[in-house]
A and B are shown apart, each in its own frame.
Chain A
Amino acid sequence: MTGRQPTGREPASAAQAALDRLRGRALPKNHDARTISALAANPGCARRALMDAAGVDKQRVAAQAGFPAPFGQSRFAIVRGNSFEAQVKENGAAQLLTLLRDLLGLDVSEVGYADFNDVGGNTTAEVRHRHTRHVLTAPDQPGRTLLDHPLLRLKVGGRLAYLEPDLIALRLDGTFHVIEIKSFAVIDGQADPGKVAAAAIQSAVYVRALRDLVSEAGGDPAAVSHATILVAPRDFSSQPTAASLDVRRQLGVLDRQLSRIASIEDLLAQYPSTLTFDLDPDAQGRPRRPAGELTDAIGQVAANYAPECLATCELCFLCRDEAVGTTGALGKPVREDLGGIEYIAQARSLARGQVPAPEQAEIAAQLLRAAQLREQVLAEAVEPP
């Protein structure tokens, strides 16, 4: 779908050949900040790890398998996000400067502003990235404080993904802080935890990429702070507010996930060399592979479905369908509470008093007790006072 960007391929290895085979005849899909953060959102999912490493176009695969996901950001959300970002940045980022001065004690003299949206009118990724690298790392650079849309890149599974912090990275006392501008409201100091978590992981992706850039240039990666800044509308107004987000945990998950993709051989070794997600396209590129066959191929790689996948993964409907009846489909907390029980039906029969297997004795006792309590409460509720 997206055109192939200049990709820095690693030397053609056996693993790369295997990944190319998995992807089939389609062009590799490049990662962006969203897909990379989605990787870290569900680190236990082998299906996603494998497909992402191979650059499979999951959207098309899901559609061909009969589970098209109405996936992608809502157009309204994009427009709202863009207009809020434009508002915060307009007039030399006047609103943002005020926020940073109030909340972080930014010095009055720190107002230098650099725009990386184009380089003298050139908007190609390669040129913008070079310019970003030059401005961020060359020793003779003037002190710029606000960097608007720098273009970073991150190596994922041997391919370079260009990342455009949908925000500004800022230099404060020689340290870089990634700023993420989001359009969800922070009401009375509280925001939707799911959205904050998504923003945190996305910021972590930028921190990772920025650290790579700094260390490649021989700098100290610690110059990129793990304390990122989230800017969002305050309460029900369009006035921005800012909060600091510590992304150390997300960085850890991300690093683990990236190294897992890098050592994809281990994962690849578990699957037959005939496995492929090729869609068997005809001359016009229309997929011809039968849905059943494709679903079987996908089914060979284990997924780790959780309801959160619905927000981050194109294959979510397929995996949800597959996961019907499992405790995981009810969410991570339920699965953890019902440790060791895979299916909902099994949990129900244990609660009804079925004799448990020895290793399930403990959870069975809890389920039994819970069922009794429920009966009791329901009975009391039905009886007239």
Chain B
Amino acid sequence: MIGPVAETIEALERRIDELRVAVREAVLAGDRALAGQRRSALRSAERAWEDALDEAAPGQTETSGQTETSGQTETSGQTETSGQSEASDAPDHPSARAGSLLPLREQVYEALSLLQMPAAPKLIATVHEAFFGATFPTTRVTSLKRDEERSFRTAPFARPYYICAALSADYLAPSRGLLAVSTWPLELRVIGSLSPRVDFLTAAIRVAEAIERIPEPPAAARRLLERFAASVSGAISPGGGADPAAVSEAARAELAVHRDADARVRRAAAERARGLHHAEQLFGTAVFRDRAGDGADTPDGADVQGGADHAAGPDSAGRAAAE
């Protein structure tokens, strides 16, 4: 991953050095027109170098486009202007390249926005593949949340949205393996004991609705719906296969059983979560993290002692919900 990026950057650095020599020669020769052209080529190469460096920083793998751009700048000495525009525009138009070149966080955002509920990386990747035609390794999603948290802690609310954690309703700690979007209401991002099922049924409905909106749904999307249907009672059509309307109806029927109880727990937990710092609201409390581990960002010591007793609060809320 580092290899090609470093290579591109090095190629650009060599190019910049060459251009500097060329500019100096043209100026010393008194050829103003040529000097102007070479200066602008130098500027575009420098810009491309900055872009390549930016791309390398967040661990992006796609640098082939950049390599081509730099190649073009090198070969088309006469047409600097076009080379320049390509070099600066390439990162702004990722869709012009293959679909998977969209930054990972945007792909995750697309999938989560379709689902409108916290989801595990695997489901996010499957949904993205089904509806947006590109997939990504789930391992990269795991580090995404860490990057997002770091970004938020350095410059809070600098981005319009963050890929953040779902919080467990009891301790408001990050719920294992679930991702959410920071702009969602807290009620959606806290996970009580009924929430996994409620969210699963909600996801089934969302996927069914998304398929109904597409005139010719891709095969991957239909397969995804079938997998949802297999785990919702009464969702499989008599002739086999999954009909979006039937899946949606069956999921709604079961959802009606759990929704109110789940909503009560989530409301209560969200109410408590509002008392947290912004970063904790998004990425969960750290009070219970293993002390040997990264518990450094514990906000206040009081919670560490009181932690075990906290159980009573959320649990009584849960009991109210279960009744």
Contact = CB atoms under 8 A, between A and B. Distances in A.
Contacts of B6: none
A95 B228 CA distance: 9
A111 interface: yes
B272 interface: no
Contacts of A124: 290
Interface string B186-203: 000000011111011001
A118 B176 contact: yes
B174 A92 contact: no
A122 interface: yes
Interface residues of A, number: 34
Nearest to B175: A115
A380 to B, nearest CB: 56
A288 interface: no
A111 B258 contact: yes
Contacts of A97: 197, 231
A284 interface: no
Contact of B290 (A122, A131, A143): A122
B184 interface: no
Given A111-B194, A120-B285, A134-B311, A91 B322 contact: no
A15 to B, nearest CB: 34
Interface in A107-160: 108-109, 111-115, 117-124, 127, 130-131, 134, 138, 140-144
Contacts of B168: 115, 120
B173 A92 contact: no
B318 interface: yes
B308 A90 contact: no
B196 A113 contact: yes
Contacts of A127: 288
Given A90-B120, A90-B123, A108-B233, A142 B321 contact: yes
Given A121-B286, A140-B316, A92 B199 contact: yes
Contacts of A144: 193
B171 interface: yes
A140 B318 CA distance: 9
- Chain B interface size band reads 35 or more
Interface string A57-101: 000000000000000000000000000000000111111011001
A140 to B, nearest CB: 6
A141 B171 contact: no
Contacts of A94: 197, 200, 231
A118 B311 CA distance: 14
Contact of B257 (A95, A98, A108, A143): A108
A91 to B, nearest CB: 5
B307 interface: yes
B251 to A, nearest CB: 11
Interface in B281-304: 284-290
Contacts of A109: 257-258
Contacts of B194: 111-113
Nearest to B171: A120
B322 A142 contact: yes
A122 B289 contact: yes
A140 B193 CA distance: 15
A91 B290 contact: no
Contacts of A90: 120, 122-123
Q: Which of B174, B196, B322 has the most CB of A within 10 A?
A: B196
A98 B231 contact: yes
A143 B193 CA distance: 9
A150 B240 CA distance: 37
Contacts of B195: 92
Contacts of A108: 233, 254, 257
Nearest to B310: A120
A142 B315 contact: yes
B122 A113 contact: no
A120 B307 contact: yes
Given A95-B230, A98-B233, A120-B288, 20 more contacts: A90-B123, A91-B203, A91-B231, A92-B196, A94-B200, A97-B197, A101-B233, A108-B254, A109-B257, A112-B194, A113-B194, A113-B197, A115-B168, A115-B175, A115-B176, A119-B171, A121-B290, A124-B290, A142-B319, A144-B193
17 contacts: A90-B120, A90-B122, A90-B123, A91-B123, A101-B233, A108-B233, A111-B197, A112-B322, A113-B193, A113-B194, A113-B197, A118-B288, A121-B173, A121-B286, A127-B288, A138-B315, A140-B315
